[in-house]
Amino acid sequence: MAVHYHFAAMHPFQDGNGRTARALEALVLQRAGLRDTAFIAMSNYYYQEKPAYLQALGDVRAGRHDLTPFLQFALRGVAEQCGRLLSEIKLSVQKAVFRNTMYDLLGRLESPRKRVIAQRQLTILKILLEAGPLETSELMRLLADTDSYAGLKFKLRALTRDLWGLLQLRTIWSTQIGPEAHLWDIRLEWPTEINEDEFLMKYRKKPKAKTSFF
Protein backbone atom coordinates (compact mmCIF):
# COMPACT_ATOMS: atom_id res chain seq x y z
CA MET A 1 0.00 0.00 0.00
CA ALA A 2 2.89 2.36 0.73
CA VAL A 3 4.21 1.81 -2.78
CA HIS A 4 0.75 2.55 -4.16
CA TYR A 5 0.55 5.87 -2.34
CA HIS A 6 4.06 6.85 -3.29
CA PHE A 7 3.48 6.52 -7.03
CA ALA A 8 -0.05 7.95 -6.92
CA ALA A 9 1.23 11.02 -5.14
CA MET A 10 4.31 11.60 -7.30
CA HIS A 11 2.68 11.07 -10.73
CA PRO A 12 5.98 10.52 -12.57
CA PHE A 13 4.25 9.92 -15.94
CA GLN A 14 1.97 12.00 -18.12
CA ASP A 15 -0.50 9.10 -18.34
CA GLY A 16 -0.91 5.71 -16.68
CA ASN A 17 0.12 6.68 -13.14
CA GLY A 18 -2.90 5.05 -11.53
CA ARG A 19 -2.56 1.85 -13.54
CA THR A 20 1.15 1.67 -12.76
CA ALA A 21 0.45 2.16 -9.05
CA ARG A 22 -2.22 -0.55 -9.06
CA ALA A 23 0.10 -2.95 -10.89
CA LEU A 24 2.79 -2.35 -8.28
CA GLU A 25 0.21 -2.73 -5.53
CA ALA A 26 -0.76 -6.13 -6.96
CA LEU A 27 2.90 -7.14 -7.16
CA VAL A 28 3.56 -6.14 -3.54
CA LEU A 29 0.52 -8.08 -2.31
CA GLN A 30 1.45 -11.18 -4.31
CA ARG A 31 5.05 -11.07 -3.06
CA ALA A 32 3.68 -10.77 0.46
CA GLY A 33 2.13 -14.22 -0.02
CA LEU A 34 -1.35 -13.51 -1.40
CA ARG A 35 -2.12 -16.33 -3.81
CA ASP A 36 -3.33 -15.55 -7.33
CA THR A 37 -6.51 -17.55 -6.69
CA ALA A 38 -7.34 -15.31 -3.74
CA PHE A 39 -6.41 -12.02 -5.38
CA ILE A 40 -9.17 -9.41 -5.47
CA ALA A 41 -8.78 -6.75 -8.16
CA MET A 42 -9.29 -3.27 -6.74
CA SER A 43 -9.24 -1.20 -9.93
CA ASN A 44 -13.03 -1.14 -10.31
CA TYR A 45 -13.48 -0.15 -6.68
CA TYR A 46 -11.00 2.72 -6.99
CA TYR A 47 -12.69 3.93 -10.17
CA GLN A 48 -16.22 3.71 -8.76
CA GLU A 49 -15.19 5.36 -5.49
CA LYS A 50 -12.88 7.96 -7.01
CA PRO A 51 -13.93 10.86 -4.72
CA ALA A 52 -13.34 8.71 -1.62
CA TYR A 53 -10.09 7.43 -3.15
CA LEU A 54 -8.78 10.97 -3.64
CA GLN A 55 -10.02 11.97 -0.19
CA ALA A 56 -8.10 9.07 1.38
CA LEU A 57 -4.92 10.15 -0.41
CA GLY A 58 -5.51 13.72 0.71
CA ASP A 59 -5.96 12.57 4.31
CA VAL A 60 -2.65 10.71 4.07
CA ARG A 61 -0.87 13.87 2.91
CA ALA A 62 -2.54 15.96 5.60
CA GLY A 63 -1.59 13.40 8.23
CA ARG A 64 2.12 13.53 7.48
CA HIS A 65 1.97 10.41 5.33
CA ASP A 66 0.18 8.25 7.89
CA LEU A 67 -1.30 5.55 5.65
CA THR A 68 -4.13 4.65 8.04
CA PRO A 69 -6.91 6.52 6.11
CA PHE A 70 -5.93 4.89 2.82
CA LEU A 71 -5.57 1.44 4.37
CA GLN A 72 -9.05 1.76 5.89
CA PHE A 73 -10.44 2.84 2.52
CA ALA A 74 -8.69 -0.05 0.75
CA LEU A 75 -9.88 -2.65 3.28
CA ARG A 76 -13.46 -1.49 2.79
CA GLY A 77 -12.88 -2.05 -0.90
CA VAL A 78 -11.60 -5.58 -0.32
CA ALA A 79 -14.74 -6.36 1.67
CA GLU A 80 -17.00 -4.88 -1.02
CA GLN A 81 -15.22 -6.66 -3.87
CA CYS A 82 -15.37 -9.96 -1.99
CA GLY A 83 -19.09 -9.46 -1.50
CA ARG A 84 -19.62 -8.74 -5.18
CA LEU A 85 -17.55 -11.76 -6.18
CA LEU A 86 -19.51 -14.00 -3.81
CA SER A 87 -22.79 -12.72 -5.28
CA GLU A 88 -21.57 -13.48 -8.80
CA ILE A 89 -20.50 -16.99 -7.77
CA LYS A 90 -23.88 -17.65 -6.14
CA LEU A 91 -25.70 -16.41 -9.24
CA SER A 92 -23.58 -18.61 -11.52
CA VAL A 93 -24.26 -21.67 -9.34
CA GLN A 94 -28.01 -20.93 -9.26
CA LYS A 95 -28.09 -20.60 -13.04
CA ALA A 96 -26.15 -23.85 -13.48
CA VAL A 97 -28.58 -25.71 -11.20
CA PHE A 98 -31.55 -24.17 -13.02
CA ARG A 99 -30.08 -25.15 -16.41
CA ASN A 100 -29.43 -28.74 -15.35
CA THR A 101 -32.90 -29.09 -13.84
CA MET A 102 -34.72 -27.70 -16.87
CA TYR A 103 -32.88 -30.02 -19.28
CA ASP A 104 -33.43 -33.00 -17.02
CA LEU A 105 -37.16 -32.51 -16.43
CA LEU A 106 -38.28 -31.12 -19.79
CA GLY A 107 -36.30 -33.88 -21.49
CA ARG A 108 -38.48 -36.53 -19.83
CA LEU A 109 -41.74 -35.60 -21.54
CA GLU A 110 -43.20 -38.57 -23.38
CA SER A 111 -45.30 -37.57 -26.38
CA PRO A 112 -43.72 -36.04 -29.53
CA ARG A 113 -46.03 -33.01 -29.32
CA LYS A 114 -45.02 -32.30 -25.76
CA ARG A 115 -41.37 -32.60 -26.71
CA VAL A 116 -41.83 -30.02 -29.50
CA ILE A 117 -43.44 -27.58 -27.07
CA ALA A 118 -40.77 -28.35 -24.48
CA GLN A 119 -38.02 -27.59 -27.00
CA ARG A 120 -39.48 -24.14 -27.62
CA GLN A 121 -39.78 -23.56 -23.89
CA LEU A 122 -36.18 -24.66 -23.37
CA THR A 123 -35.15 -22.06 -25.93
CA ILE A 124 -37.06 -19.38 -24.01
CA LEU A 125 -35.46 -20.40 -20.74
CA LYS A 126 -31.96 -20.43 -22.23
CA ILE A 127 -32.41 -16.90 -23.58
CA LEU A 128 -33.78 -15.63 -20.28
CA LEU A 129 -30.92 -17.29 -18.40
CA GLU A 130 -28.41 -15.45 -20.57
CA ALA A 131 -30.12 -12.12 -21.19
CA GLY A 132 -33.13 -11.71 -18.89
CA PRO A 133 -35.13 -9.92 -17.77
CA LEU A 134 -36.60 -9.11 -21.19
CA GLU A 135 -39.66 -7.29 -22.46
CA THR A 136 -42.00 -9.34 -24.67
CA SER A 137 -41.01 -7.73 -27.98
CA GLU A 138 -37.30 -8.10 -27.22
CA LEU A 139 -37.79 -11.76 -26.28
CA MET A 140 -39.72 -12.33 -29.50
CA ARG A 141 -36.94 -10.69 -31.51
CA LEU A 142 -34.32 -13.00 -30.00
CA LEU A 143 -36.52 -16.06 -30.55
CA ALA A 144 -37.62 -15.30 -34.10
CA ASP A 145 -34.59 -16.79 -35.86
CA THR A 146 -33.96 -19.72 -33.53
CA ASP A 147 -34.53 -23.27 -34.77
CA SER A 148 -37.50 -23.61 -32.42
CA TYR A 149 -39.41 -20.58 -33.76
CA ALA A 150 -38.09 -19.83 -37.24
CA GLY A 151 -40.52 -22.14 -39.04
CA LEU A 152 -43.64 -21.11 -37.13
CA LYS A 153 -46.30 -19.13 -38.96
CA PHE A 154 -47.83 -17.57 -35.86
CA LYS A 155 -44.79 -16.89 -33.72
CA LEU A 156 -46.42 -14.53 -31.23
CA ARG A 157 -49.30 -16.93 -30.64
CA ALA A 158 -46.83 -19.76 -29.99
CA LEU A 159 -44.81 -17.53 -27.68
CA THR A 160 -47.96 -16.63 -25.75
CA ARG A 161 -48.79 -20.30 -25.31
CA ASP A 162 -45.25 -21.26 -24.32
CA LEU A 163 -44.84 -18.43 -21.83
CA TRP A 164 -48.19 -19.18 -20.25
CA GLY A 165 -47.14 -22.81 -19.84
CA LEU A 166 -43.87 -21.80 -18.20
CA LEU A 167 -45.76 -19.50 -15.86
CA GLN A 168 -47.99 -22.39 -14.81
CA LEU A 169 -44.90 -24.47 -14.08
CA ARG A 170 -43.50 -21.53 -12.05
CA THR A 171 -40.22 -21.61 -13.95
CA ILE A 172 -40.53 -17.91 -14.88
CA TRP A 173 -42.13 -14.74 -13.56
CA SER A 174 -43.80 -11.86 -15.34
CA THR A 175 -44.70 -8.31 -14.44
CA GLN A 176 -46.68 -5.77 -16.43
CA ILE A 177 -44.64 -2.66 -17.23
CA GLY A 178 -47.09 -0.92 -19.56
CA PRO A 179 -50.57 -1.15 -21.09
CA GLU A 180 -49.43 -3.91 -23.47
CA ALA A 181 -45.93 -4.67 -22.21
CA HIS A 182 -44.68 -7.39 -19.89
CA LEU A 183 -41.25 -8.15 -18.47
CA TRP A 184 -40.10 -11.78 -18.22
CA ASP A 185 -37.35 -13.58 -16.34
CA ILE A 186 -36.53 -16.95 -14.81
CA ARG A 187 -37.25 -17.91 -11.20
CA LEU A 188 -33.90 -19.11 -9.91
CA GLU A 189 -35.58 -20.68 -6.87
CA TRP A 190 -37.63 -23.07 -9.06
CA PRO A 191 -35.22 -26.07 -8.85
CA THR A 192 -35.51 -26.04 -5.05
CA GLU A 193 -39.31 -26.06 -5.17
CA ILE A 194 -40.06 -29.05 -7.38
CA ASN A 195 -39.14 -32.70 -7.97
CA GLU A 196 -39.61 -34.92 -11.01
CA ASP A 197 -43.02 -36.34 -10.04
CA GLU A 198 -44.45 -32.91 -9.21
CA PHE A 199 -43.13 -31.45 -12.45
CA LEU A 200 -44.57 -34.18 -14.67
CA MET A 201 -47.91 -34.00 -12.88
CA LYS A 202 -48.05 -30.22 -13.29
CA TYR A 203 -47.14 -30.51 -16.96
CA ARG A 204 -49.91 -33.02 -17.63
CA LYS A 205 -52.45 -30.85 -15.82
CA LYS A 206 -51.47 -27.55 -17.37
CA PRO A 207 -54.53 -25.49 -18.40
CA LYS A 208 -54.95 -24.46 -22.04
CA ALA A 209 -52.97 -21.42 -22.97
CA LYS A 210 -54.47 -17.97 -22.90
CA THR A 211 -54.32 -16.55 -26.41
CA SER A 212 -54.62 -12.95 -25.23
CA PHE A 213 -52.31 -12.92 -22.23
CA PHE A 214 -50.35 -9.91 -23.51
State the virtual CA torsion across 2, 37, 49, 10 in degrees, nearest 10: 30
Between residues 13 and 89, which one has the greater pLDDT?
Answer: 89
Dump pLDDT digits (tens) for 25-73: 778 777 877 766 666 667 778 888 999 988 998 999 898 889 899 889 9
- In b/e form, how buried is each residue of 119-156, taking b as 16+ CB within 10 angstroms? bbbbbbbbbbbeebbbebeebbebbeeeebbeeeeeeb
Domains and CATH numbers, the chain: 2-88 (1.10.3290.10), 107-204 (1.10.10.10)
pLDDT digits (tens, 9 = 90+) for 127-175: 999 998 999 999 999 998 898 898 888 888 899 989 988 898 889 999 9
* DSSP secondary structure letters along 151-164: T-SSHHHHHHHHHH
Length of the chain: 214
CB atoms within 10 A of CB 87: 10
The beta strand positions in the chain, using DSSP E, are 134-135, 172-178, 181-186
Longest dimension (CA), the chain: 77
pLDDT of residue 102: 85
Please give the model's pTM, rounded to 2 decimal places.
0.67
Nearest Cα to 54, choosing from 39, 69, 38? 69
Confidence band, pLDDT 50/70/90 cuts, at residue 19:
confident
| β-bridge mates for residue 142, sequence order | none
CA distances in angstroms from 179 to 18, 118, 134, 141, 175, listed in the order given: 49, 29, 16, 20, 11
pLDDT tens-digit profile of 96-117?
A: 999 988 888 776 665 655 665 6
